[in-house]
């Protein structure tokens, strides 16, 4: 099977085009191919498939073999791929996702190259049970959560996949590997959760680090950046537009009050082409 190695701010994927459906043993393949020592190495596999509802359908398999409902970095990668590979000449197109419905993307092109992609990430889901959490209420904002040896406060947001946003003093130096796995599997989250540790440095900028469900620490998370901006607005820390600084670079996030949709703008890069068996 031929693939293209791509990344969105260092969140990297093996992108496959031309399959009609997922391979039957896709979980096993993801674990093997994503291994950074014995395989190609990636945070996940992304398959661009036919869709009856959109221009394309996107399926994401994490490096541990589980499936993600959606991924903001992956959708930027596949948007760049289909355009630059000549599969479409559309600069505005749609992708069907497992958890976030159909998402529209707009390509920003210079000299035939996709420089940035603006993605309509849809409306954030805030109701506790729908995120999902085990907590009742219209929104879970600043709720206490305890792990072995530490107590945090979190805000729950779903962008089609669940997020737990926690504010800390110094996100770039936070002990991600220590606390991330405990919070990912906390009983509050029946389907586990992505965990974002954030520090607001101004009303227009947030520094964030992420522990991704099914992948562990990654250099960037697009849906996590969106969830963090929404959380920061709900907590009164920022306005509705802000830069989110990730380990792999910056994303520009907007929560538009006119339609309640969150918009993400950022780059994607092709690394190389290859084949796996």
The reply to whether 222 sits in an annotated binding site is yes
**162-167 and 194-202 as β-strands: parallel, antiparallel, unpaired?**
parallel
The reply to whether 235 sits in an annotated binding site is no
Helix (H) or strand (E) holding 2: strand 2-8
Cβ contacts of residue 37 below 8 Å, gap of 6+? none
SS3 track for 191-258: CCCEEEEEEEEECCEEEEEEEECCCEEECCCHHHHHHHHHHHHHCCCCCCEEEEEECCEEEEEEECCC
Question: Would you call 206 exposed, middle or buried from its count of C-beta atoms within 10 A (0-12, 13-18, 19+)?
Answer: buried
Residue pair 154/189 in contact (Cβ under 8 Å)? The answer is no
The reply to whether 158 sits in an annotated binding site is no
The reply to whether 41 sits in an annotated binding site is no
Token reading at 136: 């009742």
Q: Is 124 helix (H, G, I), strand (E, B) or coil?
A: coil
Give the span between the Cα atoms of 229 and 206, in whole angstroms. Answer: 8
The reply to whether 202 sits in an annotated binding site is no
The radius of gyration computed from the CA coordinates of the chain, to the nearest angstrom, equals 18
Cβ contacts of residue 160 below 8 Å, gap of 6+? 69, 70, 97, 98, 99, 100, 101, 121, 122, 125, 223
Within its chain, how far is the Cα of 258 from the centroid? Answer: 24
The reply to whether 149 sits in an annotated binding site is no
The reply to whether 73 sits in an annotated binding site is yes
The reply to whether 151 sits in an annotated binding site is no
Which of the residues are catalytic? Answer: 71, 221
- Binding site for substrate, by residue number, is 11, 62, 72-73, 161, 194, 212-213, 222-223
């Amino acid at each position: 099977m031929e693939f293209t190695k791509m990344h969105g701010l260092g969140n990297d994927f093996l992108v496959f085009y031309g399959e009609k459906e997922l391979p039957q043993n896709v979980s096993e393949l993801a674990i093997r191919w994503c291994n950074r020592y014995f395989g190609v190495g990636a945070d996940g596999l992304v398959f661009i498939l036919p869709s009856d509802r959109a221009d394309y359908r996107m399926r994401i398999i994490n490096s541990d073999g589980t499936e993600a409902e959606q991924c903001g970095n992956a959708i930027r990668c596949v948007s760049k791929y289909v355009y630059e590979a000549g599969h479409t000449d559309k600069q505005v197109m749609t992708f069907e996702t497992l958890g976030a419905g159909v998402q529209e993307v707009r390509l920003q092109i210079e000299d035939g190259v996709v420089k940035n992609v603006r993605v309509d990430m849809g409306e954030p889901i805030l109701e506790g049970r729908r995120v999902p959490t085990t907590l009742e209420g219209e929104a879970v904002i600043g709720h206490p959560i305890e792990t072995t040896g530490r107590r945090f406060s979190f805000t729950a947001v779903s962008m089609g996949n669940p997020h737990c946003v926690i504010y800390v003093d110094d996100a770039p130096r936070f002990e991600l590997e220590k606390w991330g796995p405990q919070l990912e599997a906390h009983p509050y989250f029946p389907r586990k959760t992505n965990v974002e540790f954030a520090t607001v440095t101004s009303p227009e900028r947030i520094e964030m680090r992420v522990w991704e469900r099914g992948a562990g620490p990654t250099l960037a998370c697009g849906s996590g950046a969106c969830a963090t901006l929404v959380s920061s607005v709900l907590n009164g820390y920022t306005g509705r537009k802000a830069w989110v600084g990730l380990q792999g670079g910056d994303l520009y996030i907007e929560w538009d009050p006119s339609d309640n949709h969150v918009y993400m703008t950022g780059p994607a890069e092709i690394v190389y082409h290859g084949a796996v068996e």
